[in-house]
Amino acid sequence: MKLMALQLLLWHSVLWTVQEATPLGPASNLPQSFLFKCLEQLRKIQANGVVLQERLCATHNLCHPEELVLLGHSLGISQAPLSSCSSQALQLTGCLRQLHSGLFLYQGFLQALAGISPKLAPTLDMLHLDIADLATNIWQQMEDLGVAPAVQATQGTMPIFTSAFQRRAGGVLVADNLQSFLELAYRVLRHLAEP
């Protein structure tokens, strides 16, 4: 009998520890209207990102970002992290901050690509504006939840392109990294929107 009581107490303490460590679930104070609006914005940005990739491929024959990875490292084109958004370790506050910071990073990358090509300028401008809108929505939601940092992130070091080829290659890498980021962000927000 004492052994069963001890096992029950041990099981209860383990369950309590697991509950404390469990990440916030889908209903984590995020309004459905916010989630659906973000999902819609993400789809629009993804579509424009695909257009950018296709135009870079068609215009400059730069169709394989994996061939440009080393150049990307030397140019300082990084992938924005979303480690706080993984389904195993979802931390709502950290995830929202990483989403916002990542969008802010890609805004800067797109700005650095200005002048890449007159044909691509409208697509870059649209991507830049749409990403800014989504970042603003996420920031406002963080403020509504009371989890926004006291100061917004500042733009880090942006790549400096010394040749037209570097700018075009940078465009391919930025578009590819942005698509990967958006795919993961979309999955996370879709998961959060599930009842």
Helix or strand holding residue 166 (H, E): helix 164-193
Give the pLDDT score at 28.
57
Q: Quick check: 14 pLDDT over 90?
A: no
Q: Quick check: 100 pLDDT over 90?
A: yes
**Structural domain spans, the chain:** 30-150+159-193
Rounded Cα distance between 161 and 168, Å, is 9
What dotted CATH number matches 30-150+159-193? Answer: 1.20.1250.10
Percent of all residues in the chain with a pLDDT value above 70, rounded to a whole number: 84
Rounded Cα distance between 145 and 26, Å, is 15
Q: Alpha carbon 155 to chain centroid distance?
A: 15
This prediction's pTM: 0.81
E-state strands within the chain? none
- Mean per-residue pLDDT, 107-134: 92
Give the pLDDT score at 135.
94
Scan for tokens 């107490």, then name that residue: 9
Q: Which amino acid is at 155?
A: Q
Average pLDDT of the chain to the nearest whole number: 82
- Mean per-residue pLDDT, 101-119: 90
Q: Quick check: 9 pLDDT over 60?
A: no
Rounded Cα distance between 87 and 118, Å, is 41
pLDDT band at 124; cut points 50, 70, 90: very high
